[in-house]
Amino acid sequence: MFLEPGFRGQRSGWIEVICGSMFSGKTEELIRRLKRARIANQKVQIFKPKTDVRYSEESVVSHDSNAVASLPIEKSVDMLEHVNDVKVVGVDEAQFFDEKLAQVCERLAIKGIRVIVAGLDMDFRGEPFGPMPSILAVAEYVTKVHAICPHCGSLATHSYRLSNESETVLLGEKDKYEPRCRICYSMGNILDLKV
C-alpha cells in the first residue's frame, strides 16, 4: 500500500518534489496533493512565478485544464510574506524561480510547513533547470513523473523543443515542445522530418 509522503513518522515540515518533462502530469499531481490537504482541513497557499501566464495569470492550471487559485510572485523570498498559519505550501513551475527557492523551501519546512514543489528537472537542452537541482538535493520526497514519447511509446524524460528559439525560458505548449524518451530526444531533428 502506498502512503502519502509525511505519513511515515515524519514529525512536521518537509519538502516534496514532483519533477519530470513537459506533459508528464507534474501540475496535475501537485493539484491532487493540494486538494487532499484541503480535504484534511489544512490551510494551503499556492505560489507560481509571475512570468507563467500561459493559461491564467492567477491560477495554477494543468494541461488537462484542472485549476487551483494561486498567488503569482516575482521572487521566491516573497513566499515568506504570505504563509501565516499555513500548513501546506504548493509551488508550481519551480524551474522559473530564482536560486534562493531551495533556501526558502527549507525555511518553510523548518517552520513545520509541508512544501510541495513541482517543476521541470531539465530544460530543452537536457541540462538541470534553474533551482531544481538544489531543491531535489534537500527534499525528503521526490516523485519523478513521465509523459509518453509520441514517436516510440516509451517513457518520456526529456522536453524537446520543436522551434529554433535558443533562449532557455520560452513559454509554450504543444506548438513548441513535445515529450521524448532519451533515444528519440537524442535523434533530434531527424524525427521532426517524419512528423
Q: Which residues belong to the active site? A: 93
CA-angle at 156, arms to 106 and 100, nearest 5°? 20
Distance, CA of 125 to CA of 127 (rounded, Å) = 5
Distance, CA of 79 to CA of 82 (rounded, Å) = 5
Q: Which residues pair with 11 in a beta bridge?
A: none
179 alpha carbon, distance to own chain's centre: 15
Residue among 170, 148, 173 nearest 24 (CA): 148
